[in-house]
């Protein structure tokens, strides 16, 4: 299908969705352990061999963590991309959502992702409930996520950017304004980088 449609990338979320033949239709978080890392690397290699192309893995938004985890999410994703020789689709909104929900520095996360692996960035709106954030894709990108996107654009060069908007979809003009804002942030980040 990817060859027939001439898809530039094939991607999926870094998660699991079911067990014992039951599919939850949810993007469930992985335990970031050595065992999970080895298992996932093997699966990615199988898929890439079958498709005869590199795939991209996207960091998912999560609302709980496993006590068994021995890696930080950014370290797990970076090691996975290197060892499996795959690409990264970096969802900047998900980095922000997870940093809020799990108490880590989102800028450190961005800085630890290998720049040569990122092929696309995602942006989206989210819903902040005070003590947690849900990745709802139902509104404009927040200022905090825009600022993180500026940092990501500076770090990763000029990867393609996609704004996700899945619910309460506004008229074209509003979505277009968000796309133009992404272009401005990306352009400004490159101007800032060359001035340093």
Structure confidence by residue, pLDDT tens digits, 141-150: 999 999 999 9
Supply the pTM of this predicted model: 0.93
Mean pLDDT of the chain: 93
At residue 171, the pLDDT reads: 93
At residue 196, the pLDDT reads: 45
pLDDT above 70 (res 50): yes
At residue 6, the pLDDT reads: 82
CATH architecture, domain defined by 2-195: Alpha-Beta Barrel (3.20)
pLDDT band for position 112 (cuts 50, 70, 90): very high
DSSP class per residue in the chain: -HHHHT-S--EEEESEEEETTEEEEEEEPPP-SHHHHHHHHHHHHHHHHHHTS--EEEEPP-S---TT--S-HHHHHHHHHHHHT-EEEEEHHHHHHHHHHHT--HHHHHHHS-TTTEEEEEEE--EE-SS-EE----SPPPHHHHHHHHHHHHHH-S-EEEEE--SS---HHHHHHHHHHHHHHHHHHHHHHHH-
Domain boundaries, the chain: 2-195
């Amino acid at each position: 299908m990817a060859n027939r449609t001439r898809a530039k990338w094939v991607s999926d979320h870094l998660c699991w969705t079911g067990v014992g033949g039951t599919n939850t239709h949810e993007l469930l978080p992985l335990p970031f352990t050595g065992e999970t890392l080895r298992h996932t690397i093997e699966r990615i290699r199988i898929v890439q061999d079958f498709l005869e192309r590199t795939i991209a893995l996207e960091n998912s938004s999560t609302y709980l963590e496993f006590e068994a985890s021995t890696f930080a999410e950014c370290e797990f994703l970076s090691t996975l991309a290197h060892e499996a020789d795959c690409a990264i689709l970096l969802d900047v909104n998900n980095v922000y959502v997870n940093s809020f929900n799990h108490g880590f520095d989102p800028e450190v996360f961005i800085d630890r992702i290998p720049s040569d692996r990122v092929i696309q960035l995602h942006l989206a709106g989210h819903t902040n409930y005070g003590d947690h954030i849900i990745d709802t894709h139902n509104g404009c990108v927040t200022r905090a996520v825009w600022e993180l996107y500026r940092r990501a654009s500076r770090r990763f060069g000029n990867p393609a950017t996609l704004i996700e908007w899945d619910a309460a979809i506004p008229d074209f003009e509003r979505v277009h304004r968000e796309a133009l804002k992404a272009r401005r942030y990306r352009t400004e980040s490159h101007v800032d980088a060359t001035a340093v």
